[in-house]
């Protein structure tokens, strides 16, 4: 469902897929999860009780000791200016950083190799040896993550920087970076018996009527509310992404004279749900797999999904194409979707009744609009997703 995109400054690149817009009203074209422009929380986020913060702070201190260790280390008493702050950091405002410094005899390359081989209780997820990329010959780094941090932490990472000196010594800095979950806002907890309505929305046209709207049964409503109430508050920060998707999901929950509204619009690129209560913005909520699946299933109702992309095959790669996708069943056209010449191209997703379907596509950018066929027959089951790309090749 989601793409984990760095909330880290100087983090990994952002990739996005965009939707093709439906020309007809029989079915819906739905995007994959897509990155949105940088977006901050719409409301202030409580930082949690002092005890909660103390636990996160203590964990960060412990994490500095979980990194790689090698023989001959000595505490570094004079910190180089370039090692006082980490070169990479998580882009949230409630970040806790704890530091440990030491030095060891040997070149940066020797120290880098020794640290990389050293036993450690963390998972090594990235590194840069001296001289690689923009690194100088005297600088290297290692990046570790805690695979299963405590439930009160959103992130727990260790960033190690290595800096050589002219006297044959190498300085090492370990930065433990910990992000605690903020406290769940009291007004953001929805009563279990709330009445719930879910919608498939136009994210780029908020005032437009929803593509589909469904009133949930009491059983489905309770399951969605339970999944929402179990989700964590997203740490306050900024997510960097690409353009927003064309379509999104929304739910309206009513109880005790209050109205909660949640909306998934690909906020940032961090799987967040926007939340309001009686029109007042509340902190964003992290989208769990359970909650997102519940939203999709409830919107689909008795139907299922077909997703895929219109591509041109180039060597071993795929290039997204603008164009037209036609969905057919038993030789009859169910829906036709067009992407305008100046509009988005790439991914699509249909919501259709269970059954077998075929897809064809064409693009003015491939062989003057030659028709291309889907990879296989798409067999749709209720509330399930089947994948079928349309790939154009010479």
- The pTM assigned to this predicted structure is 0.68
Ranges of CATH 2.60.40.10 domains, the chain: 304-392
**Which residues pair with residue 327 across a beta bridge?**
335, 359
pLDDT above 70 as % of the chain: 80
Mind listing the pLDDT tens digit for each residue in 166-176? 899 999 999 99
Residue 199, C-beta contacts closer than 8 angstroms, at least 6 positions apart: 210, 211, 212, 213, 214, 249, 250, 251, 252, 299
Count the Cβ atoms, other than its own, within 10 Å of residue 139. 21
Burial class of residue 187 (count of CB atoms within 10 Å of its CB; 0-12, 13-18, 19+): middle
Q: Is the CATH number 1.10.3470 carried by domain 31-43+183-300?
A: no
- pLDDT of residue 258 exceeding 90: yes
Which residue is it, tokens 């450690």?
Answer: 120
Mind listing the pLDDT tens digit for each residue in 184-212? 888 889 999 999 999 888 766 667 777 78
CATH class in words for 304-392: mainly beta
Burial class of residue 178 (count of CB atoms within 10 Å of its CB; 0-12, 13-18, 19+): buried
Position 267 scores a pLDDT of 60
Topology of domain 50-180, CATH: Alpha-D-Glucose-1,6-Bisphosphate; Chain A, domain 4 (3.30.530)
Q: What confidence category does residue 346 fall into, taking pLDDT thresholds of 50, 70 and 90?
A: low
Lowest-confidence segment of 18-22, 69-73, 91-95, 379-383 by average pLDDT: 18-22
Position 144 scores a pLDDT of 95
Ranges of CATH 3.30.530 domains, the chain: 50-180
What is the four-CA torsion angle of 277, 281, 282, 286, rounded to 10 degrees? 100
Ranges of CATH 3.30.1490 domains, the chain: 31-43+183-300
Distance CA 19, CA 33 (A): 10
Q: How far apart are the first and last CA of the chain?
A: 31
Distance CA 20, CA 162 (A): 47
Tokens at 238, concatenated: 């900024």
């Amino acid at each position: 469902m989601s793409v984990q995109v760095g909330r880290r400054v100087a983090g990994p690149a952002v990739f996005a897929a965009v939707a093709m817009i439906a020309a007809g009203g029989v079915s819906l074209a739905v995007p994959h999860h897509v990155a949105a422009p940088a977006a901050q929380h719409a409301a202030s986020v409580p930082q949690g009780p002092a005890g909660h913060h103390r636990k996160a702070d203590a964990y960060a201190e412990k994490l500095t000791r979980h990194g790689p260790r090698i023989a001959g280390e000595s505490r570094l008493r004079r910190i180089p200016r370039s090692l006082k702050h980490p070169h990479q950091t998580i882009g949230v405002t409630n970040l806790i950083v704890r530091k440990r410094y030491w030095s060891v005899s040997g070149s940066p390359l020797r120290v880098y190799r020794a640290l990389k081989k050293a036993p450690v209780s963390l998972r090594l997820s990235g590194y840069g040896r001296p001289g690689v990329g923009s690194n100088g010959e005297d600088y290297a780094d290692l990046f570790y993550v805690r695979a299963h941090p405590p439930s009160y932490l959103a992130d727990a990472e260790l960033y190690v920087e290595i800096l050589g000196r002219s006297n044959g010594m190498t300085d090492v800095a370990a930065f433990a970076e910990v992000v605690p979950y903020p406290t769940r806002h009291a007004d953001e907890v929805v009563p279990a018996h709330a009445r719930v309505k879910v919608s498939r929305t136009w994210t780029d046209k908020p005032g437009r009527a929803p593509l589909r709207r469904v009133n949930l049964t009491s059983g489905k409503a309770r399951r969605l509310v339970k999944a929402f109430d179990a989700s964590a508050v997203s740490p306050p920060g900024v997510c960097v992404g690409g353009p927003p998707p064309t379509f999104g999901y929304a739910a309206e929950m009513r109880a005790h004279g209050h109205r909660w509204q949640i909306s998934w619009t690909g906020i940032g690129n961090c799987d967040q749900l926007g939340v309001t209560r009686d029109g007042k913005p509340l902190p964003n909520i992290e989208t769990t797999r359970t909650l997102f699946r519940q939203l999709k299933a409830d919107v689909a109702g008795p139907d299922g999904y077909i997703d895929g992309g219109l591509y041109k095959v180039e060597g071993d790669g795929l290039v997204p194409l603008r164009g037209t996708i036609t969905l057919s069943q038993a030789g009859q056209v169910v829906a036709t979707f067009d992407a305008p010449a100046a509009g988005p191209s790439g991914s699509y997703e249909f919501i259709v009744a269970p059954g077998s379907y075929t897809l064809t596509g064409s693009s003015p950018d491939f062989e003057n609009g030659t028709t291309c066929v889907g990879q296989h027959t798409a067999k749709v089951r209720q509330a399930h997703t089947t994948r079928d790309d349309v790939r154009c090749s010479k």
